Structure 1
Amino acid sequence: MAADATTTGEQPSYHRLSAAGLRDLAQGEGDGAVIAELLRAERSRRLLLLRALRNGVSGNGVGPDGVDFFAQGWDLLERAQRHAPEACEELLMSPNTGMWVSLAVRRVRGRAYEDAPHWVVLGHLAALAAAAAARAGLDFGITVPTRRGRVHLPTLGCAVLADRKPWGAALVTGRDGRVRVVGAGGEVAVPAGPERRARDWIPVRRMTLGAGGRAKSLVLEELDPYRTFPRPSEPRLLPPAEAAYWESSLTAAWEVLLRDDPGTAEAMRQGLMSVAPTPVRERFRPHSSTAGDAFGGVTASRPDDVAQLAATLVHEFQHTKLGGLMHLEPLIEAPTSPEAPETLFYAPWRDDPRPLGGLLQGIYAFLGVTRFWRSHRHTADPAYAPLAHFEFALWRTQVWATINSVHGHERLTPLGRYVVERLADRCAAWLTEEVPATPLRLAREAATDHHARWRVHHLRPPAKAVEETVRAWQQGAPRPPSALAAEPLLVPDAEAGFSDSTAVLARYHLSEPDGPWRRPGGVDGADTAEVQLMLGERTEARAAFIARLSDKGAPASAWPGLGRSLAAEPAQQAAAGLLLHHPERARAVQDAIAAMTGRRADPVRLAAWLGS
């Protein structure tokens, strides 16, 4: 690569954010100018990773036929950069390149994230070099790795050979502007316009969102093995109808963002580079991801609707911004002892407990989601507005509670404290905004239920306190011992799942009040009693939850469900309060009673006693 201060012995310069850029990022914002600052830093980081990779290769790039894929790739890439540096920039800054070089550096340091041989992983540099040389119009010849007969030329496309062995090699040549790929199983002539599809050539799918000064270019990424996180994957070609759906959805989502979150849209115009589609998921349970090493890349499951896709892009771009900031300066201090277990926290967007770093990422992402729904609820179609109001009310509640759980944490760096304080200021300003009664009520129920489910799965009261409580119950004591109120232990439960069931049911209720979700099994993880609760059938739900909890094998989530079914009964406030705020106590004591006596206590009477 061409020399700069990051790859020579010169005194390096340091990347620093402008004061305005830091202020905007700290409160969850950031325009195109601050994204440009982050991209300059990311560029230097990529060059440093490439240099670290070259220093650590030590012959690991040599294939079984003696070809040093890495060395020849480095030489050709340097030649392409000298001849046409602009042709190398898109390759260097591609999210896929960032993902590859970070995984390759880890590979030479002993951590493998895929089963490909060393020479295939490191030889990806040869494929990058071939693409750069082709873009620069050079005459060249270079051997590159193949994966199941596919020859990936990043940012250009993929040649498909007949030989489908897991790993192999092919020769890529360029002569007079024409590129050919020759390998076991045949020869592929790359079209003169590489964006055109041929029988054995699949081009990168590029699209333009919007038009004129509001336009945004984007890659709909199907091909590159390093498009997915945290490990590579096989190409996933979109059928024509699916590709058309994605293209129309992304175009419509872009228009929504321009209208409802124009600051983020401006930042995305520079910083969002590719979206890699993944298979459809259950409605209202989309999956998306980003990686700090793949700045500008997003993977996302097939969207349910345009607004959901817009919110997903905001969510993932928030991760991208915070990841770029954290590459410049950390937000949390490293643990004082590497052997000490990581402190874990409740995250209201996850089933599992999360470490502090992951929690900050979630706060930052969902603050952006809250901002989007705050605006979109006023512009959405009237039929969609109740759902948008619900999303705003739910996420402002969850973000606010989580910010307060980490505010002032001892491991936050000065920058980390500054970011948390600015995010808190931003979220606090939204807490008093009015939300219609039904979406507000459902958001509060969903937030309470998620927290209660998390507690009942992951928290365990002290064992001695549980034993003492069982004795007090058997002896007819008027109230449980105070020891049961001691700080519970966090014991992550790998079986926890579907903690969002109440939120998902609420979304269905607001958008499809008479839909099939009302039938048994209509929503994964939600049983009939939960549906009855959503429909206001509290008496029926209460009877169902009591029946479950009076028998062995009851799901842990039935305890919070019972609490919700009792919440409207004045005579059951103690039981409802216990089950919604400390359900782990009821679960632990009930299990201990059953283990000791072979019988299970009446769950309502037990909860009322524990709540007294």
Structure 2
Amino acid sequence: MRAEPSLPRHHLPPDRLAELVRGEGGPETLDLLLGGERSRRLLLLRMLDDATDLGPAWDLLSQAQRRAPQVVDDLLMYPQTGMWLTTALRRLRGRTPMDEPPLWVELGHMSALAAAAALRAEFDFAIEVPVRHGRVPLPTLGCAVLPETEPWTRATVRAEGGRAVIEAAGAEVALPPTSGSAGPGWHPVRRLTVGARGRRLDIVLDDVDPYRTYPQPTEPRPLSGEAAAQWRRMLEQAWELLLREQPETAEAMRRGVFSLTPTPAGERFRPRSVSAGDAFGGVEASEPDDAVQLAVTLVHEFQHTKLGGLLHLTPLLTHDFDRGKELWYAPWRNDPRPLEGLLQGIYAFVGITRFWREHRKAAPAQTAMAHFEFALWRAHVATAMEQVHRHPRLTPLGTALLDTLRDHCAQWLAEPVPEEPLALAHLCADDHVARWRAHHRRPAAPAVDRAVRAWLDGASGPPGVLATEPEVVPDPSARWLDSLAMLVRHRLSGADDDRISLDGPEKAAARVSGALTGDALLAAGDATAARHAYVAHLAAEPSPAGAWAGLGRALATAGTEPRAARLLCHHPERAHAVHQALLGVTDSPPDPIRLATWLGSPPA
């Protein structure tokens, strides 16, 4: 490729940096981040060329750059190119334990990239590219399907006199002369344009590039025409909503969101979306329930994109190896998170909170749900930030960012929310942190043993040592800690078939993975029935940690058994650990409420 005389030095002026610190960032700020990303990609490409012989692919890409530099720049800045570059470099350094695809296929993606550039630059060439299980993906263009003879082989991409073909093993796929057109054996990348003139979002619906899924590559899986049309409809509606309710964010997205990778729909109200710092501008998302959910997903991942771009220019944390293994409560996750991951989540969910704050003003048909989401996420974000406010690893910029977001959140917490959605949001926020503690806070074994002996000896209360704050020990079985919030969303959705009926809590719970009958009753507002359901569940299956947290919330809501309620709401891990230990030494497990009441008594 043509060498630049010198790489630019990138910096963010104070006003642009201030936008990002507030969790915002307009088009000009995005352009500055993109400039930094472009230099980073060029450096990664040079590092890859230094580490291995890219040979004909490098030469072909250089020729394309001389003829059509904008085409090569577009390919360079494509999110999947960034993902491929870092994946290939990690594999060369032995940092990615992958068996498939073979390394030569990984590195051969450079040839596919060069072929795509040459095809778009419209000149004659021929080059060998990898075949992946019978498919030949060409970045930003599409994917050819050839007869599969073996998982990993090679094909030739050839262009001559305006005709382009991909050929291997006696088979040939001709590329349609018009970009974006389908043809026999050829699946084009779909380019979607939504919105009115001057406010359009141009985005690639990428279902074929191997590096479209983050963090691990996957083989091409072309969408059906019907599925692609559904994604277009959803995107059109989501974009219209963002233009109407979040115009500044939407304008910035036009500069910083380039590709959308569709994945199959998940459980209702539980969308899955992913982005990656190495794939600036790329979003991977499951098929949404509706346009509002897709709009939230785009806001969520765009926040990650902006923060990722900022982190490529300047750090928010120091590298303190003594503290690098600290793990924290992230209200949007099932697992404990390192500080770096927690900051990413805080930044993303500040954006989500801001979305719901505006949406509740503009969506009268969904007011209860919007109020609930706003109240829930502002509480979650506040909880997350309070844990790490003024953490010693924060750089001055990291401190400023967290202080600013914390101030915004404090203002949001003062905004009025109607009583019912506010109460439900507090219920779900408190329940989530209690379930997380029940799974991931582990009291010291000696303290648990002393508590067991004290219980068996008939002591008036537990030993004081049990009150020592337990360490975080990740529990890999922790899943679906948000089940109560999912049930509340079903309740607030308004559809008759989604209303939680007190006559059928088991059926209601069955709609939500990980939900217990007690959860359904609690979400429906029957705390007394929920209490009995949790006790029955613990008698039949004593191990689920979440049932202890749910029982505490039911007792607190009903206003009964205050000592047990307080203990289980704030320290369910003590009841869970002591109960499990007692099961190992007694034939009959203790009554959960009686045990929790004892554990909540003053130390003996």
- What is the TM-score normalised by the length of structure 2? 0.95
Query: Cα–Cα, structure 1 residues 151 and 371, in superposed 2: closer, same or farther, change >3 Å?
Result: same
- 8 Å CA contact 2:528–2:558 kept in 1: the answer is no
Cross-structure match for 1:213: 198
1:279 maps to which of 254, 257, 264? 264
Query: Cα–Cα, structure 1 residues 541 and 132, in superposed 2: closer, same or farther, change >3 Å?
Result: same
Structure 1 residues 546-593: Cα deviation after superposition (integer angstroms, max 9, x where no partner): 122234534111111111221134442221111011001111122222
1:432 maps to which of 408, 414, 425? 414
**Matched AA of 1:174:** A
Distance in 2 separating the partners of 1:535 and 1:569: 13
Matches within 5 A, 1:18-57: 18-57=13-52
Structure 1 residues 67-121: Cα deviation after superposition (integer angstroms, max 9, x where no partner): xxx3100001011101111121111110011111111111211234451222211
Match of 1:494, SS?
A: coil
CA offset at residue 413 of structure 1?
1.6
Cross-structure match for 2:285: 300
Match of 1:568, SS?
A: helix
The range that moved more, 363-372 or 173-182, is 173-182
Distance in 2 separating the partners of 1:26 and 1:576: 40
Matches within 5 A, 1:64-75: 70-75=54-59
The yes-or-no answer on 1:343 pairing with 2:312 is no
1:232 maps to which of 188, 198, 217? 217
CA offset at residue 598 of structure 1?
2.5
Distance in 2 separating the partners of 1:372 and 1:358: 21
CA offset at residue 394 of structure 1?
0.4
- 8 Å CA contact 1:517–1:523 kept in 2: the answer is no
The yes-or-no answer on 1:16 pairing with 2:11 is yes
The yes-or-no answer on 1:107 pairing with 2:96 is no
Distance in 1 separating the partners of 2:455 and 2:128: 76
Which ranges of structure 2 fall in alignment gaps of 5 or more residues?
A: 501-506
The range that moved more, 253-262 or 594-603, is 594-603
1:404 maps to which of 376, 383, 386? 386
Cross-structure match for 2:476: 494
Aligned residues: 593
1:359 maps to which of 342, 345, 364? 342
Match of 2:420, SS?
A: helix
Distance in 1 separating the partners of 2:600 and 2:430: 17
Structure 1 residues 467-501: Cα deviation after superposition (integer angstroms, max 9, x where no partner): 22223323333332221111202111111111000
Cross-structure match for 1:442: 424
Cross-structure match for 1:64: none
Cross-structure match for 2:102: 117
1:560 maps to which of 549, 552, 558? 549
Structure 1 residues 205-256: Cα deviation after superposition (integer angstroms, max 9, x where no partner): 0110112111111111111111111111121222222111110000110011
Distance in 1 separating the partners of 2:255 and 2:22: 20
**Matched AA of 1:502:** L
Cross-structure match for 2:396: 414
Distance in 1 separating the partners of 2:374 and 2:92: 45
Match of 2:191, SS?
A: strand
Matches within 5 A, 1:99-498: 99-112=83-96, 113=98, 115-336=100-321, 342-380=325-363, 382-498=364-480
Query: Cα–Cα, structure 1 residues 238 and 565, in superposed 2: closer, same or farther, change >3 Å?
Result: same
Distance in 2 separating the partners of 1:84 and 1:242: 34
The yes-or-no answer on 1:4 pairing with 2:4 is yes
CA offset at residue 464 of structure 1?
2.1
CA offset at residue 307 of structure 1?
0.7
Query: Cα–Cα, structure 1 residues 164 and 249, in superposed 2: closer, same or farther, change >3 Å?
Result: farther
Distance in 1 separating the partners of 2:541 and 2:26: 56
Distance in 2 separating the partners of 1:4 and 1:102: 22
CA offset at residue 327 of structure 1?
0.6
**Matched AA of 2:588:** R
The yes-or-no answer on 1:78 pairing with 2:66 is no
**Matched AA of 1:233:** T
- 8 Å CA contact 2:487–2:512 kept in 1: the answer is yes
Distance in 1 separating the partners of 2:148 and 2:557: 67
Distance in 1 separating the partners of 2:235 and 2:216: 25
Distance in 1 separating the partners of 2:78 and 2:559: 60
- 8 Å CA contact 2:187–2:222 kept in 1: the answer is no
The yes-or-no answer on 1:89 pairing with 2:73 is yes
**Matched AA of 2:514:** G
Cross-structure match for 1:63: none
Match of 2:167, SS?
A: strand
Match of 2:519, SS?
A: helix
- 8 Å CA contact 1:91–1:97 kept in 2: the answer is yes
Distance in 1 separating the partners of 2:203 and 2:336: 35
- 8 Å CA contact 2:538–2:547 kept in 1: the answer is yes
CA offset at residue 163 of structure 1?
3.4
The range that moved more, 147-156 or 461-470, is 461-470
- 8 Å CA contact 1:508–1:515 kept in 2: the answer is no
CA offset at residue 186 of structure 1?
1.1
Match of 2:262, SS?
A: strand
Cross-structure match for 1:542: 531
Distance in 1 separating the partners of 2:124 and 2:206: 28
Distance in 2 separating the partners of 1:607 and 1:86: 67
Question: How high is the sequence identity, in percent, across the aligned residues?
Answer: 54
Distance in 1 separating the partners of 2:149 and 2:222: 17
Cross-structure match for 2:579: 590
- 8 Å CA contact 2:116–2:140 kept in 1: the answer is yes
Query: Cα–Cα, structure 1 residues 552 and 194, in superposed 2: closer, same or farther, change >3 Å?
Result: closer
Distance in 2 separating the partners of 1:566 and 1:444: 15
Cross-structure match for 1:67: none
Which ranges of structure 1 fall in alignment gaps of 5 or more residues?
A: 60-69
**Matched AA of 1:197:** A
The range that moved more, 498-507 or 599-608, is 599-608
Distance in 1 separating the partners of 2:243 and 2:564: 48
The range that moved more, 136-145 or 591-600, is 591-600
Structure 1 residues 115-169: Cα deviation after superposition (integer angstroms, max 9, x where no partner): 1222211111111111111111112111111112222221111122223421111
The range that moved more, 478-487 or 297-306, is 478-487
Match of 1:202, SS?
A: strand
